[in-house]
Amino acid sequence: MPASLEPVEILPGVLWLRVDQPFALDHVNCYLVEDYGGWTLVDTGIGGEIGSRQWDALLNGPLRGTRITRILTTHAHPDHIGAAGWLSRRFDAVIYSNADELNRLRHMLRSFDPAEASRNAAFYRMHGLAGEAADALSLQDHRYAAFVDELPADIRHLTSSEVLDIGGRQFAVIIGRGHSPCGMLYRSLDGTVCFSGDQILSSITPLIGVWAENADENPLDDYLSFLASVPVQISDAALVLGGHQMPFKDAAARALSIRRHHEERCAIIRSFCGDEGRSVGDIIPVLFPKAKGEMSIGFAFGEVLAHMHYLAARGELDTGRAGDWAIQFTRTNP
């Protein structure tokens, strides 16, 4: 892992940067790929005051004289796209994303709506969160808005059929759903490298969650489908450069390990629900006994509900209500 704000060359023509962030996961990996007459940046870190201060230090220090010609984002979470607007204006660089990612981001950045916040809080209470925790989680998206700089109107939308030429090297766009609506990975056609964002990481599993804003979705099913496709899409010899932690190889083995992790969590949830039924709030302490604080509990809630949605869609859990509020899940086949 490079020291904070000290770029290292991880491959010929590829620089690896570690940008800090004020969260439990305290860094983001960004990459610069040598391009025609400049550099293509893959992900940016957070925006706002923290982001601009870090990028000023980079561009006035170890990256002095570097010209960023375009910005590829892997997904539209604040720690990956947050500084894109600031950097785009500084270099007149085009940002690459896609419509589904940007639509979810715009929903996050929308003006505060008290009525919507009240509906969201009711959703979390129905799933077993205490009133104070439900109220805090209903406002979580708005707090993230401080870490995203204003984006330009002209953003280049990518699809899975595209191949990008970066400095003479060809990169295919892979769409990976689950962690975000339509995440993008960039795989070199020569099989040497893949920029994976958060979709597949070396030693942690990306957050797969359901909250009020995507309450009807089944992102874990999407994510497991992506993992099943990894052996076909990413060469075992490719160096996988993720959005956090260390580079790694043998993406297929890592994908299998992550699939088993989710299968184990599903088995725990199914067993714990039993015949009596359990809410999301009941299961959070079982799967995440160390979850404390608003952000940690919010992530745990999303993960648990995503697994319950997946099991319900497979017919392994039934959904019902206990009284006027609590939504509970029961095991269908004891």
Q: Residues 126-147: what's their mean pLDDT?
A: 86
Secondary structure element (H or E) that encloses residue 229, with its range = helix 219-233
Chain centre distance of CA 327: 27
pLDDT confidence bin for 143, thresholds 50/70/90? confident
Q: Strand 193-197 relative to strand 169-176: parallel, antiparallel, unpaired?
A: unpaired
Region of 229 on the Ramachandran plot (φ > 0 left; ψ -120 to 50 alpha; else beta): alpha
Share of the chain above pLDDT 70, in %: 98
Query: What pLDDT digit, counting tens, does each position of 43-53 carry?
Result: 999 999 999 99
Q: Residues 99-113: what's their mean pLDDT?
A: 87
Contact status, residue 143 vs residue 135, Cβ threshold 8 Å: no
196, 188, 193, 192: which is closest to 226 by C-alpha?
A: 196
pLDDT value of residue 322: 60
* Alpha carbons 92 and 67: distance in angstroms, whole number: 10
pLDDT value of residue 275: 83
Contact status, residue 187 vs residue 239, Cβ threshold 8 Å: no
pLDDT value of residue 295: 84
pLDDT over threshold 90, residue 125: yes
pLDDT over threshold 70, residue 153: yes
Instruction: Kindly tell me the burial class for residue 312, based on how many C-beta atoms sit within 10 Å of its own C-beta (0-12, 13-18, 19 or more).
Output: middle
Query: What pLDDT digit, counting tens, does each position of 225-246 carry?
Result: 999 999 999 999 999 999 999 9
Query: What pLDDT digit, counting tens, does each position of 51-99 carry?
Result: 999 999 999 999 999 999 999 999 999 999 999 999 999 999 999 999 9
* Alpha carbons 59 and 234: distance in angstroms, whole number: 33
pLDDT value of residue 254: 98
**Three-state SS for 210?**
coil
Beta bridge partners of 248: 240
More confident residue, 113 or 218: 218
pLDDT over threshold 80, residue 141: no
Q: Phi and psi for 53 in degrees, rounded to 5? A: -65, -40
* Alpha carbons 131 and 312: distance in angstroms, whole number: 26
Query: What pLDDT digit, counting tens, does each position of 193-210 carry?
Result: 999 999 999 999 999 999
More confident residue, 224 or 1: 224
Q: Strand 38-42 relative to strand 27-35: parallel, antiparallel, unpaired?
A: antiparallel
Query: What pLDDT digit, counting tens, does each position of 251-288 carry?
Result: 999 999 999 999 999 999 999 998 888 999 999 999 99
Q: Residues 17-34: what's their mean pLDDT?
A: 95
* Alpha carbons 316 and 309: distance in angstroms, whole number: 10
Residue type, 160: S
> For residue 37, what are the contacts with CB-CB under 8 A and spacing of at least 6?
67, 69
pLDDT value of residue 274: 86
CA distances from 57 to 21, 53, 145, 146, 269 (A): 15, 6, 23, 20, 46
Secondary structure element (H or E) that encloses residue 128, with its range = none
pLDDT over threshold 90, residue 161: no
**Three-state SS for 36?**
coil
Query: For residue 37, how many other CB atoms are within 10 A of its CB?
Result: 8
Residue type, 291: A
The structure tokens listed for 90 are 């500084």
Straight-line distance from the first to the last Cα atom of the chain, in angstroms, rounded to the nearest whole number: 46
* Alpha carbons 219 and 177: distance in angstroms, whole number: 7
Share of the chain above pLDDT 90, in %: 83
Rg (CA), the chain: 20
pLDDT value of residue 100: 95
For the whole model, what pTM was predicted?
Answer: 0.95
Residue with tokens 């060469």: 235
Q: Residues 95-116: what's their mean pLDDT?
A: 89
> For residue 301, what are the contacts with CB-CB under 8 A and spacing of at least 6?
124, 127, 129, 137, 209, 211, 280, 281, 284
pLDDT over threshold 80, residue 333: no
pLDDT value of residue 132: 87
